[in-house]
Amino acid sequence: MGFLSKKALVKAISFFMLSGGTAQIVWAEDVSMLPAISAEAEEESQADATGTYLQQAKLGALGEKKILNTPFSVQSYSQKTIQDQQATTIGDVLKNDASIRVTTNQGHLNENFKLRGFDVNHEDMSYNGMFGVAPYGRVPTELLESVTVLKGPNALVGGVAPTGSVGGTLIANSKRADKELTQISASMEEKGYYQSGFDISRRFGAEKEFGVRVNGTYGDGEHYIEGMNDRHISGAIAADYTTDKLKINFDSYAIRDNRTGGSPAMIAMGGSGSVNKVLAAPKGDSNYFPYLIGNTDSKFAGLSGEYKFTPDFKAFAGVGYAEKEYSGHLFGTRLVVKNEAGDATSQYYRVGSKEKNTAANLGFEGKFDTGSIKHTLGLRADYLKRKYVQHASATSAAFSTNIYDPIADGGMPTTYPNVVPYADNEYVSYTLTDQISMLEDKLQLIVGARYQDIDTRNLVKASHYSDDKLSPSLGIVIKPFGKNLSFYASYVEGLSEGTTVDSTLKKDANKGKTFAPYETKQYEIGAKYQTPNWLNTLAIYQIDKPSVMVSPYTDASDSNITQITTDGAETRSRGIEWSFSGKLTDDLNLLGSLAYIDTEYTKDVSNKGNSIYGVPDFTASLGLDYAIPYVEGLSVNTRVSYVGEQYLNSANTLTLPDFTIWDLGARYTTKIGGVNTTFLANIDNVTNKNYWEGVFNDNYAIVGAARSYKLGVSFDF
């Protein structure tokens, strides 16, 4: 077992549990034990030629599937990609995909995204295939072995997201004790932020049936913007007992982020009281709120298991408990620009919440044949209870500043908000799937449906919502020209709970009304081509998403009523995406993606025919990694990202300009004193370009990140 003894491991586990360590849910079918395979061989067998993408993805109710056999657009980034690029959060990893847009600033404690024109909020991040148990705000990568992106709505795989995201599913997959590992790492960023960590994994027992993986990280220092200090602490333990028939997993992690001396800002240049013109972007590291603070804390505990009754029939179950909380000035830090000189008035307030979630799953999977047709039949039940207290109202504050010349004493802390019992929600679903294969896997079908029951209670507004929906899905994969090329088509639905019209809104004819769950529909066709040296995926899709709209309305019996909210609105997105990775030569790797999207408010009173704000028509990313032939272990890399113009508002009256960002990096692997050592260097936004990266909300732009330097080193003993 190396320098870490079994006794030391037991002590480490005991200390972590007694000091507040808790755990995540891990799906039993997601566990892989490869004690006899080296890390290098495992990476080669699972990843593409560049080491960027895994060849298989863990897709919830569908289990683990080969990307080539999946009738959806799926990408799964490897741990090698995370480490080589020094990606510290999932948001950093997703910079590799041109089609994914961020809707919060670089360094924000909450990471939100747009996929295919629709939102994926941080509350709807999936952890090991389960909603409700991911860390609050953002997921740090030191916990992860991979990050999977499933684009578009897909109720079959994950069910209804707690806050209604339908743009896609982002799945964070935790590290497992699948290899012998002792790694120590450290990094330093330009402004002085330092982070160090360890990652230790062991398998032991006569048959290597026991496994433990422990990792921890500590970071502190000035970060992202001038004068803002971050402290990040995380720790995780993954333990398992694995035999041919039985798998039992226990997992735990605890994460804490503390921020002082600042907050990223969203800047309004449209709407009431603003300049109503897009100005030149300010510096990316400007600090407009030098006295604000923010804190997040997340803890998890979970136990899961799987038992194979026969090689073709298994049962699995899991249960987990999560606690999350946040406080301070995490979001709502905004500036409203008043004139072309950049003079602005602030809008900000303190927030707070505590959340307790319980999640569970239970299911069976059986394989059988009907003649020459193979079936994998799955039946599972999923449960999530989300209960939280939250700020019902918050005291706002304001001061005057300038986006190009911030004042030194802006943003004094506001008073603590009134935190009250806010919501008590339950989500129960039942999923039935049949994965069919015939003609030696040349024709494959996925047929399935998820029955979702939603029961939510808004304790502030004293409203109760209960409804259910059946979401069918159908996918087909064909391989007419060999095993390396597949064509696919699919129909899937996404589900989000219906909107409740504010019961205190006296001017609305439907005040207090709750609408039925919204069914977002996606139609997709595509092709995937994979060889030992290349991986290409092409997807063409259309998504139709219903929503609410407000129309003028009069009521002869009530003169207070001037409008009516209905669920007759609809938004559509159509697009084409192409991602590719491969080897141009033995020493030169290529990684890239292109995306074109056309979005439209197809049914709306005020914005019909307009495009969705914050969604550029065209985006592209191209990366190269070159191994220097005459210096063993030395590689250099670069990435160029282009983002086209995007509307700042739903009225389409303001447009953010396009921009191009250039990143550079280098990697050197060697042995020092017999220890495998890797040195890393990365420069993001080499030219230090000032730019508007995207849109947070109607009329609110987010400032692009400034140039940043990062140096790192890791030692593998």
Which whole number is the average pLDDT over 617-638?
96
> How many domains, the chain?
1
Tell me if 431 sits within 8 A of 407, measured CB to CB.
Answer: no
Q: What is residue 46's predicted lDDT score, i.e. its pLDDT?
A: 80
Q: Please state, in angstroms and rounded to a whole number, the distance separating the CA atoms of residues 490 and 498.
A: 25
Q: Comparing C-alpha atoms, which of 481, 568, 396, 394 is closest to residue 68?
A: 481
Could you give the C-alpha distances from 499 to 444, 511, 613, in angstroms and in order?
Answer: 38, 11, 21
Q: What is residue 465's predicted lDDT score, i.e. its pLDDT?
A: 83
- The model's pLDDT over 341-363, given as tens digits with 9 standing for 90+, comes to 999 999 999 999 999 999 999 99
Tell me if 197 sits within 8 A of 257, measured CB to CB.
Answer: no
- The model's pLDDT over 152-193, given as tens digits with 9 standing for 90+, comes to 999 999 889 999 999 999 999 999 999 999 999 999 998 999
Is 392 part of a structural domain of the chain? no
Q: What is residue 499's predicted lDDT score, i.e. its pLDDT?
A: 84
Is 402 part of a structural domain of the chain? yes
Instruction: Judge whether residue 462 has pLDDT over 80.
Output: no
Which whole number is the average pLDDT over 256-264?
95
Q: What is residue 515's predicted lDDT score, i.e. its pLDDT?
A: 87
Q: Please state, in angstroms and rounded to a whole number, the distance separating the CA atoms of residues 612 and 240.
A: 46
Q: Please state, in angstroms and rounded to a whole number, the distance separating the CA atoms of residues 572 and 116.
A: 10
- The model's pLDDT over 191-242, given as tens digits with 9 standing for 90+, comes to 999 999 999 999 999 999 999 999 999 999 999 999 999 999 999 999 999 9
Predicted confidence band of residue 9 (pLDDT cuts 50, 70, 90): very low
Could you give the C-alpha distances from 438 to 386, 655, 700, in angstroms and in order?
Answer: 42, 51, 52
Q: What is residue 38's predicted lDDT score, i.e. its pLDDT?
A: 39
277-282: long-range pairs with CB below 8 Å, 24+: 277/340, 277/654, 278/648, 278/654, 278/655, 278/656, 278/657, 278/692, 278/701, 279/337, 279/340, 279/342, 279/403, 280/690, 281/690, 281/691, 281/692, 281/703, 281/704, 282/342, 282/403, 282/404, 282/690, 282/703
Is 37 part of a structural domain of the chain? yes
- The model's pLDDT over 515-555, given as tens digits with 9 standing for 90+, comes to 888 999 999 999 999 999 999 999 999 999 999 999 999 88
**Which residues make Cβ contacts (< 8 Å) with residue 140, sequence separation at least 6?**
88, 89, 217, 232, 234, 255
Would you say the C-alpha torsion 151, 156, 157, 160 has a positive or negative sign? Answer: positive
Q: Please state, in angstroms and rounded to a whole number, the distance separating the CA atoms of residues 416 and 421.
A: 16
Angle made by CA atoms 653, 656, 660, in degrees to the nearest 5: 160
Q: What is residue 711's predicted lDDT score, i.e. its pLDDT?
A: 98
Is 390 part of a structural domain of the chain? no
Across 79-127, the runs of DSSP E, i.e. the strands, are 100-102, 113-115, 118-120, 126-127
528 Cα distance to chain centroid: 23
Q: Please state, in angstroms and rounded to a whole number, the distance separating the CA atoms of residues 580 and 99.
A: 13
Give φ, ψ of 82 to 5 degrees: -60, -45
Tell me if 628 sits within 8 A of 585, measured CB to CB.
Answer: no
Q: Comparing C-alpha atoms, which of 67, 65, 68, 71 is closest to residue 489?
A: 71
Q: Please state, in angstroms and rounded to a whole number, the distance separating the CA atoms of residues 644 and 562.
A: 39
Is 391 part of a structural domain of the chain? no
Is 87 part of a structural domain of the chain? yes
Antiparallel, parallel or unpaired: β 334-337 and 266-268: parallel
Instruction: Judge whether residue 34 has pLDDT over 70.
Output: no
Q: What is residue 675's predicted lDDT score, i.e. its pLDDT?
A: 96
Instruction: Judge whether residue 35 has pLDDT over 70.
Output: no
Is 105 part of a structural domain of the chain? yes
Which whole number is the average pLDDT over 555-565?
90
Instruction: Judge whether residue 606 has pLDDT over 80.
Output: yes
Please state, for a pLDDT cut of 70, what percent of the chain lies above it.
Answer: 94
CATH number at residue 571: 2.40.170.20
- The model's pLDDT over 38-47, given as tens digits with 9 standing for 90+, comes to 333 344 448 8
Give φ, ψ of 687 to 5 degrees: -85, 0
pTM: 0.90
Owning domain of residue 223: 6-385+398-716
Instruction: Judge whether residue 382 has pLDDT over 70.
Output: yes
Q: Please state, in angstroms and rounded to a whole number, the distance separating the CA atoms of residues 55 and 76.
A: 8
- Retrieve residue 578's tokens: 């192409």
Is 648 part of a structural domain of the chain? yes
